[in-house]
Amino acid sequence: MQPQGEHSQSAFVSLIGGRQEEFSEGMVRLSLVLTEEHTNPNGVMHGGVITTLMDEAVGGVIASVRGIDVMRAAPHSTVEMNVSFISSARPGDTIVVEATALKVGRSAAFGEAVASRGSDGAIVAKGRFTFVITGGRS
């Protein structure tokens, strides 16, 4: 089901080359093709690329459940995140991040994200995010 309203990608995710592949109620998928610009001094993907994509994807999936108009009236913001970096990725790899909502309440929302390599499906990272809904009330 498509959520009502239009969901726009954030400026920072656009800057680093992220692309929204799917935005449906309860599922958001982003992708990014890694370049040298995404690397750390070890020559592999910087962890900040993953945390950026996951934050965006989970924020998006919570928006998809709440509805875009509801979100605009009472935005949600990340308050807590935890990410495990499981394996590395290199320039040329495509990273796919899929986010699902665990629970969307009145004042808080919880979601998870999985990042995988497009070529072989290997899990690169897993994350869990907590958002607070500003102005949320019963």
Residue 29 as a binder of other proteins (CB under 8 A): the answer is no
Q: Say whether residue 77 binds other proteins (CB under 8 A).
A: yes
3-state secondary structure 73-110: HCCEEEEEEEEEECCCCCCCCEEEEEEEEEEECCCEEE
Between the two ends of the chain, the Cα-to-Cα distance in Å is 26
Residue of the chain from 20, 31, 78, 94 that contacts other proteins (CB under 8 A): 78
- Any idea what the Cα angle at residue 44 is, between residues 79 and 48, rounded to 5°? 15
Task: Based on the shown chain and the rule CB under 8 A, indicate whether residue 12 belongs to the binding site for other proteins.
Answer: yes
Among 83, 102, 108, 122, binds other proteins (CB under 8 A): 83
Is residue 105 within the footprint of other proteins (CB under 8 A)?
Answer: no
Does residue 68 touch other proteins according to CB under 8 A?
no
Which CB, 85 or 110, lies closer to other proteins? 85
With respect to other proteins, which residue has the nearer C-beta, 82 or 138? Answer: 82
Among 21, 22, 69, 80, binds other proteins (CB under 8 A): 80
For residues 33 and 65, what is the distance between their CA atoms, to the nearest angstrom? 27
Distance between CA atoms of residues 93 and 76, nearest Å: 31
What percent of the residues of the chain are helix, what percent strand, and what percent coil, each to the nearest 5?
25, 40, 35
Of 1, 2, 82, 120, which one interacts with other proteins (CB under 8 A)? 82
What is the binding site for other proteins (CB under 8 A)?
Answer: 10-16, 36-42, 46-49, 51-53, 55-56, 59, 75, 77-85, 88
